[in-house]
Structure 1
Amino acid sequence: MYEKNGERYFVVDGHIALWDARESNHRNVHGKQFIDCFYDYHENLSPEDVVWDYDTYTYYGGDRLLRDVFVEGYVDHAIFQPVLLKDFYVNGFGQTEEALALTRSHPDKLTYNHSYDPRYEEAGLQQLREDATRMNLQGVKLYTAEWHGDSRGYKLDDPWSRRYLEECIELGIRNIHVHKGPTIRPLDRDAFDVADIDIVATDYLDLRFIVEHVGLPRLEDFCWIATQESNVYGGLAVAMPFIHNRPRYFAQIMGELLYWIGEDKILFGSDYALWTPKWLIEKFVDFQIPDDLLTDYSQITVEQKKKILGLNAAALYDIEVPSGLGLTESTRQDGAEVTARAREAAPS
């Protein structure tokens, strides 16, 4: 929980990971390329005083995760969004069993989402069924640009992908998180295109599609899709760190998201350990859209920040919000007035 100026914020970090990118786990050169790209993002978009050394970054372990996220990071609950990358890492990039063990040890603080790849076809479908039972899955994280043999990506509306989405409905897995953001070396940029979100969101209304990284650098495409599709949400991981070194760009991202899709469908995510949540939360609570941009956007409110930082994700995952950390009547009214003004200006 974070508190400032008499306001208390219930925080759900919707995007964390526990990875092993040490050289001993590299299957090939692509394992090094991937973690080096991650580290470049970390080093160039973080405040200097929170930059990690490279060796720590390749593997930090569960104890440090718990400290950085919950003890120092203000987070009340966090959701694992793993990436497997079996073609690049001997034991996979995301550490399934270690993350799952942490979740079982701290069920009040952690939720574990797993991943699947529809290119494993029937065998993978059976694995998904087993994983859903063993891991009590409420959500999955998909990486449509992941390599698999000769394939360098897939579309969500591919026939086998549809089979898996239909199985998710049967299994009660409603939250489908999809990386649709900046490319990561050596993955292909176009394999992260957001267009297939539009198709499956229309066809599978029983599912909720959380577009991680809000489609960057395709923000406009994402916004046009998400404003039309009621079951499409935006995850702020990767967008968040621009609040530090590109605050005006971040203001434009938030302004567009609030204008098009509204504060009820935007979720905070630190993308730990690319970045640590502490400084992101502090800067976001202090954040205001610059005055000269208010000709195009409405100012962000405390109510909107509370929803984005935790209340929206809590609703998607049935996470209990302690008494007093929800919305007060005054903030509801203030936020409703701002939202109404924005909606009046929106195209019909």
Structure 2
Amino acid sequence: MINGMFVVDSVVHPYDMGEANNGTDPNQQRQIAGMYHHHRLYTGEQKTEYLMERDEFISDFDLDGLTGALFAESQTDMGVLHALPNLGFSQGPLTDIRKMAALRDANPGRFLLYATINTRDTDAAIRELEWQVREFHVDGLKLYPAFYYDGKSIGWRLNDPDFATPLLEAARDLGLKNIAIHKAIPIGPSSIENFKVSDIDEPLMRFRDLNFQLVHAGFAFLDETRVLLHRHPNLYANLESTFCNLNNRPAIFLEALGEFLYWGSVDQILYASGFNITHPRPMIEAFAALEMPQRLKEERGYPDLTDEIKRKILGLNALKLHGIDPGAAATKIAGDQYEQRRAHDLEKPWTSLRQKEAA
């Protein structure tokens, strides 16, 4: 918690970029190097204590380092683990759902879990989803608008009647209510067209009983996204990567947040760090202290950033999406090892990771 506000990180995905899982051709190696560049860019070069060394970041990220950074080194109370498919620069899944399920189960009350799929074949994708729901009792589904095979990408759109619609129907039939779709930031050898938001409007109307999270909302296509939020109460702006602008470009973050608050509702906005792309603590602390500049309130009609607004964005909205009572969530983790570790003060950044390395 920070200032009495319960914090839920809506995107946590510790990358497996260990040597055994890395792609080896030059294009894949450039993508891997680009991931580390994004870590430095999102963190901010001036925040040296929060920067990882290259070999710390480009690794099969240690899960003790993950939980320590989230729950002992920052004010995060819960996280939503996103399983990730092969994104073009790994041999297998970038974040394996089996490892994520084990991590969730080892830390009661700390994690939710989203499934993913890794194939454009409709029947195979549905079978893959059915298996994950049955075996791991997932809380949602994370989708990427392109699949990667042999250095090539196959894109798809969320309004595709032959693939996306049957997949979403299957997710609904399996009891899933939360669908997170990566947008705005292109990955690998895939056209930027796949990452635009123009394919979301139709599914939002067709599946009004599902909640859709537009992941990286506001990072690009801000104008289109604010209109979609205004039109659709079942759309949520998941601010992974966008939130990182608080580290070194707060004006960019304030514009995106202000537009979403003006055109949509505070109930539609979710905090996310995208861990392990960067350490969560600087973003949480910056947001807790953030004020809307008077100029933006006067010129654009943006609201004051009240404690109520911050409380909803940092955690209450995510809890509500998943049907979790805030009091029950706090009680479930009260007195656990992480609460004890941060009882007097937060640990220094990457303490857990580096202690494990030293051992």
TM-score, normalising length: structure 1:
0.87
- Say whether 1:82 aligns with 2:83: yes
In 2, Cα distance between the equivalents of 1:317 and 1:124?
A: 24
Q: Per-residue CA shift, 1:271-318, capped at 9, x if unaligned?
A: 000111111100000011222111112221110000000000000112
Corresponding residue of 1:16? 12
In 2, Cα distance between the equivalents of 1:301 and 1:261?
A: 16
- Say whether 1:180 aligns with 2:183: yes
User: Which residue type is aligned with residue 322 of structure 1?
Assistant: G
Corresponding residue of 2:115? 114
Q: Mind listing any 5+ residue stretches in structure 1 that lack a counterpart?
A: 326-348
Q: Per-residue CA shift, 1:317-342, capped at 9, x if unaligned?
A: 123312798xxxxxxxxxxxxxxxxx
In 1, Cα distance between the equivalents of 2:148 and 2:202?
A: 22
- Say whether 1:274 aligns with 2:277: yes
In 2, Cα distance between the equivalents of 1:171 and 1:154?
A: 22
Q: The residue matched to 2:163 in structure 1 has which SS? A: helix
Corresponding residue of 1:34? 31
State the shift of 1:28 in Å. 4.0
In 2, are the aligned partners of 1:234 and 1:265 still within 8 Å (CA)? Answer: yes
Corresponding residue of 1:128? 129
Q: The residue matched to 2:179 in structure 1 has which SS? A: strand
In 2, Cα distance between the equivalents of 1:144 and 1:324?
A: 32
User: Which residue type is aligned with residue 34 of structure 1?
Assistant: Q
Corresponding residue of 2:94? 93
1:209 to 205, 212, 215: 212
Corresponding residue of 2:311? 306
In 2, are the aligned partners of 1:113 and 1:138 still within 8 Å (CA)? Answer: yes
Change (3 A) 1:176 1:323: closer
1:320 to 316, 320, 325: 325
CA RMSD of aligned residues (A): 1.8
Q: Mind listing any 5+ residue stretches in structure 2 that lack a counterpart?
A: 331-359
Q: Percent identity among equivalent residues?
A: 28
Corresponding residue of 2:351? none
Q: Per-residue CA shift, 1:57-112, capped at 9, x if unaligned?
A: 12221100000011111111100122211653222211322211011111310111
User: Which residue type is aligned with residue 277 of structure 1?
Assistant: P
Q: Per-residue CA shift, 1:176-198, capped at 9, x if unaligned?
A: 00111222344432211111111
Matches within 5 A, 1:157-196: 157-158=159-160, 159-196=162-199
Q: The residue matched to 1:140 in structure 2 has which SS? A: strand
Change (3 A) 1:52 1:324: closer
State the shift of 1:32 in Å. 2.5
Corresponding residue of 1:333? none
In 1, Cα distance between the equivalents of 2:329 and 2:52?
A: 36
Structure of higher RCO (CA pairs closer than 8 Å, 6+ residues apart): 2
User: Which residue type is aligned with residue 73 of structure 2?
Assistant: E
